[in-house]
């Protein structure tokens, strides 16, 4: 049932987001002529790797420059167009295809890189018990503004408490976290994003 819901939501999402993706693709292509899509190996359920797809927001060859695979706030490798796409999470829309393929789910912990998984404690490895998602408990509680360990702990909480009710809460809060510049903090209050 979850799989059917994922496919239905992702399919609808791709149809509805097609105009935004077309504009994003044109903007990226016109900026530097490089590829529109960026592919990266990420770790999914049970530690299986898969190829995650995003709209490219950084300069071509960014992984061989600066902080490598890590991306810091204000990273100079992020293009001007890329900053706007990241702020609105438009760069993540191609991951709807990852959901249709079965690599990801609509809701779950965000997929991470292999080097990050290697540093997990046994408790943190619990986040690999479910498919990674487009949005999740950590995303609606602060996204990348939270310290790494706090994000992982929120993801583990989700794994231990996931239910249709929790998933509906995440779906309801995601638009606020993405578009209003606010997010729900761990105490349940709404905060302005940094």
67-73 mean pLDDT:
64
Contact 27, 61 (CB under 8 A): no
Q: What is the mean pLDDT of residues 80-103?
A: 92
- % of the chain surpassing 90 pLDDT: 63
In Å, the largest CA–CA distance within the chain is: 45
Report the C-alpha gap between 123 and 154 in whole angstroms: 12
pLDDT of residue 54: 94
| Bridging pattern class, strands 182-184 and 190-192 | antiparallel
Compare 8 and 145 and report the one with higher pLDDT: 8
pLDDT at 65 over 50: yes
The number of folded domains in the chain is 1
By the 10 Å C-beta count (0-12 exposed, 13-18 middle, 19+ buried), 149 is classed as exposed
Q: Please give the full DSSP string across 4-32, using - where no structure is assigned.
A: HHHHHHHHHHHHHHHHHHHHHHHHHHHHH
Q: What is the DSSP letter of 111?
A: P
Which residue did the predictor score with more confidence, 180 or 131? 131
Look at the block and give the residue holding tokens 């993405």.
178
pLDDT tens by residue, 111-170: 999 999 999 999 999 999 999 999 999 989 887 778 888 999 999 999 999 999 999 999
Q: Which two tokens stand for residue 89?
A: 């999470």
> 185: how many CB neighbours lie within 10 A of its CB?
13
Does the predicted model carry a pTM greater than 0.85?
no
* Closest C-alpha to 148, from 109, 90, 108: 109
Q: Which domain holds residue 85?
A: 2-192
């Amino acid at each position: 049932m979850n799989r059917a819901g994922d496919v239905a939501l992702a399919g609808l999402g791709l149809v509805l987001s097609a105009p935004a993706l077309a504009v994003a693709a044109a903007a990226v292509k016109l900026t530097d002529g490089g590829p529109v899509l960026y592919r990266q190996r990420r770790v999914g359920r049970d530690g299986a790797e898969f190829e995650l797809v995003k709209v490219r927001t950084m300069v071509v060859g960014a992984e061989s420059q600066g902080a490598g695979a890590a991306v810091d706030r204000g990273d100079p490798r992020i293009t001007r167009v890329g900053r706007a796409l990241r702020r609105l999470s438009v760069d993540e829309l191609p991951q709807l295809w990852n959901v249709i393929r079965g690599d990801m789910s609509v809701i779950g912990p965000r997929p991470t890189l292999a080097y990050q998984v290697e540093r997990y404690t046994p408790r943190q490895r619990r986040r690999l018990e479910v498919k990674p998602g487009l949005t999740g408990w950590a995303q609606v509680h602060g996204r990348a503004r939270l310290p790494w360990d706090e994000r992982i702990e929120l993801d583990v909480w989700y794994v231990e408490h996931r239910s249709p009710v929790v998933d509906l809460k995440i779906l309801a809060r995601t638009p606020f976290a993405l578009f209003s510049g606010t997010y729900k903090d761990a105490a349940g209050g709404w905060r302005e994003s940094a």
